[in-house]
Amino acid sequence: MAQIAVMSVDGSVKKIDRDSEEGLQALRKLASLLLKDSLHQEFKGIRLGESVADEDGFHVDSDKDDQQVSADELSALQDALLAKAKDAKVEFVEADLDDALAEVKDDPYSSELIKEAAKDGKVAMYQVGDVKAVADGDIMVYGDAIKHLKLLSVAGAYWKGMSSNPMLQRVYGTVFFSKDALDEDMKKRQEAREHDHRVIGNQLDLFFVDPKVGAGLPYWMPKGATIRRTIERYIIDREVADGYEHVYTPVLMNLDAYKTSGHWEHYRDDMFPPMDMGDGEMLEIRPMNCPSHIQIYKHHIRSYRDLPMRIAELGMMHRYEKSGALSGLQRVREMTLNDGHTFVAVDQIRDEFAKILNLIMDVYKDFDITDYSFRLSLRDPKNKEKYYGNDEMWDESQKLLKAAMDDLNLDYYEAEGEAAFYGPKLDIQTKTALGNDETMSTIQLDFMQPDRFGLSYVGKDGKEHMPVMIHRGIVGTMERFVAYLTEIYKGAFPTWLAPEQVHIIPVSDEKHGDYAKQLADKMKAAQIRVVVDDRNEKMGYKIREAQTQKVPYTLVVGDDEVKDNAVSVRKYGEEAQNSMSQDAFMNEILADIASYSRKN
């Protein structure tokens, strides 16, 4: 196996296998440093921020007084980088801190990185060409292997990922040791782009996020809001039919509740700072709904006859996410969770667990989710800080969860260290459009919070007993679920979910417009989402537009359709057009919607 020379942060050089993960990482580390040098040479006065090499490629952040680096300049920048790579060699420099800072005195970003890395007045650095960078990982010594490289894109990125910091320009790239590997990566990236909910969301005008008015805070456009509203109505109806009582609870709560629940102790880094109301009251914008549902339970004295007590809510929550981690609808700061909590007696746990799991499976069927697995998430008994410290509770709850899965005869795998801080859980792992694992649904057992909040019910014996709390999420947050569905369907939503289900095009608005509008009114009365395209555009353009917007049904109406009280139907993705009566079409689309667009 071929080997390459790599340099470590102490300046020592060693040989490693070229085709190992470490070898690829060292290659990308050198590529990122060469990109810094190229930016420095091509754009005078540019200030250089962080350079990162990871499993996805590499990137460099920079800042200029005039216009930032544009996508149009990437090709020339790539040529400059590849030219430098041929003769590039990394040198190790251990510089005095003052000298290192003097070299970058006009660059606040490089200065900050150097100060952070300095030890005892010295800083270890790698140098390629005219640029030095902090030594922060193994780097390939010689650049002659850098031949199969692609600069991919530019984007804005906050310095250090904090929205309070300046917005820099980030140049992304990737590099491999072989052309075949690069070509395969480009193919995967193209496929990812075709599935990317951010790209599709922009094309179909579903949502947007504007960092200027709030990073991680999505705005739902009418079409995106229609998809979300359809899902929410579906979920509420399914849960009510399954015995859940839906509630609304405030998004603010006294901080003491989160201290009692344990979230403040275990989850503080993911919570926004408390708000001092000026009178001694500290309010927290909620990161979880469970303490709110506990208050619903506590509001009345409960009897064993009330159990299981099922509470559900589409509950809005807020979690602190660093700006660099935010991504479309996948990672946001405001989210609405399809949340539910059941309060049960211990002897009801297995039956309730099975009931919840059956509901999840039914929902998956309606959304055509078929690729999933079961992960039993258990605590790491050695981690005393992360988990609630009650060994007896953990042993009992984990035993109950395993028994419930065995009763259902379902295959599962165990994941130590993945439990919630208050109890074990079953996570249902789905495959994304690109084959990655993602937790879609969860069922969690919780003995801790009922104990801490002093929950009780009066048993058959007239004595007080503590209930067990089961947390469950069917489809997670609305934001992440819509992102998942958008990518799975590539924006071609099934008819029951499509924001626009029918697109009617009159051949002539003057001659056929009234018929088209009457037809649309009839469909709207049947709660079909329909649009009449009466724009002064060519027929072919209108049909292509409906296909581009991935509308399930396009209807063309002209003289024959008006005369025969009919429609000419073209389904999304098909070339053929079929003529049928109004009634026949109405029966077909209503059956399509009622069956959740599943073919019989």
| Closest to 296 measured CA to CA, from 426, 460, 469, 420 | 469
Give the separation between CA 573 and CA 544, rounded to whole angstroms.
11
Q: How many CB atoms lie within 10 A of CB 454?
A: 11
* 8 Å CB contact between 102 and 89: no
Give the separation between CA 357 and CA 442, rounded to whole angstroms.
9
* 8 Å CB contact between 483 and 197: yes
Q: How many helices (H) and strands (E) does the chain have?
A: 19, 30
Give the separation between CA 328 and CA 442, rounded to whole angstroms.
23
CA R_g for the chain: 29
| Closest to 505 measured CA to CA, from 569, 580, 564 | 569
Residue 88 CB partners (closer than 8 Å, separation 6+)? 30, 34, 128, 129, 142, 143, 144, 146
Cα end-to-end span (Å), the chain: 54
Give the separation between CA 512 and CA 541, rounded to whole angstroms.
18
H or E segment to which residue 13 belongs: strand 13-17
Site of tokens 């070229």:
18
**DSSP sequence for 74-142:** HHHHHHHHHHHHTT-B-EEEEEEHHHHHHHTTT-HHHHHHHHHH-BTTEEEEEEETTEEEE--S-EESB
| Closest to 368 measured CA to CA, from 492, 206, 473, 479 | 492
Tokens encoding 14: 């060693």
Site of tokens 């509001």:
299
Is 290 annotated to bind a ligand? Reply is yes
Give the separation between CA 244 and CA 258, rounded to whole angstroms.
25
Phi-psi region of 28 (alpha: psi -120 to 50; beta: other; left: phi over 0): alpha
3-state secondary structure of 248: coil
Tokens encoding 151: 């600069």
Give the separation between CA 551 and CA 499, rounded to whole angstroms.
8
One-letter amino acid at 165 equals N
Is 197 annotated to bind a ligand? Reply is no
Q: Binding-site residues for Zn(2+), please?
A: 290, 341, 471
Residue numbers belonging to the annotated binding site: 290, 341, 471
